[in-house]
Structure 1
Amino acid sequence: MAMTQTQRLGIFAALALVMAVTRVHLSLLHHDIWDASWGVFFLAGFWLRGTGRWAFPVLMAEAVLVDYLVITHMGINFWSHYCVSAGYWFLIPAYGALWLGGSWLAKHQNGLRLSTLALAVVALLVSENLCYLISNGSFYWLSANVPQPKTFASWFENLGDWYLPFLQTTAVYVGLGAVLHVLVVQLARFTQHSGQTQH
């Protein structure tokens, strides 16, 4: 589905808003609100493919800014927060994996068909697993907050602690995005068909 620049900007603004609202859950909102960041980067890669030169870095800057505001709002120095280590900067390639997964899906999808659904599942699973491996691995191996000694056995145990919740949360947001996408495509088809029959 071809989009105008205005539509792309609207999608970008909506995704940025969703990420901002859900990412502040660290302390400002109720803890049951799931962080949509992973889903946002995957959906942005799908919907905004070809705009990566500006959309991806702006979304990354937003993620860091929100983290900074939330952490400093808690009265903690940003650089001394538990989650901020040398591994924090590996969120760039981690989120990049999600963006590339969505972008790959956009390039290879074939409309609203079962084959597209199968591709979506594969793209999401591969990209979110890669994202999790990069983000978790960089934190575990580079953070001074992880107890010593660091071993592969304890890393694999650490990997498993948050693995399913991260995958499930991302799948929920991407699923909601997919439903919205289908509705918009069907509405556009209906509107186009109605316009043609009136002529």
Structure 2
Amino acid sequence: MLTAPLPSQIDIRKLVVKGAEISANPPISSLPRIADLLAEGDSDTEDKAGSLAVNLRFYIDDERQRRVDGQITGTVKMTCQRCLEPMPVDVDMKFELGIVWSEEDAERLPKSLEPLIVGDELVDLADIVSDELILSLPYVNYHSPADCKQNIGYSSVDPEHTDAVGKVNVEQERDNPFQVLEQLKFDK
């Protein structure tokens, strides 16, 4: 199992022919494309944004499709949109990619596979993992109401008409703007 950044500049065709499997625990800092999505923590920790375990399997399936099947598990720290504090988000996702060389090949893939267009160039595995991770992370994150530091709860009650306990004072009723219409109705 690798604990270093995922290999870059890999000929994915060779991995598929060999039926290779790669398992790694890459530091989140080695996935720069997701850095903007994650919360910043203490600079004292080695990898403040969380930890991931990545498993990639390269093979040719029964239908002669070149494939990459992967699983990403772990925890990343994202920002709560209410209190703006870091919060852990669990990641547990699987993906199945069909390796193709052009857009035309991608259109012929079975619907169960997402295309990974590689062309003739070498592939950076960190980019593949980053793309799949970006697609799986929630767009907006919130702590549970009990854990959030922001006071949660909105009310349509005017705070000037409530007592210390929060009950509405019924004796102070507001003027209804439609009372004038009620009078017009009965004046006929």
**Same fold by TM-score greater than 0.5:** no
Structure with max Cα Rg: 2
Structure (1 or 2) with the greater strand fraction: 2
Report the TM-score, using the length of structure 1 for normalisation. 0.29
Report the TM-score, using the length of structure 2 for normalisation. 0.30
Of structures 1 and 2, the one scoring higher in RCO (CA 8 A, sep 6+) is 1
Structure (1 or 2) with the greater helix fraction: 1
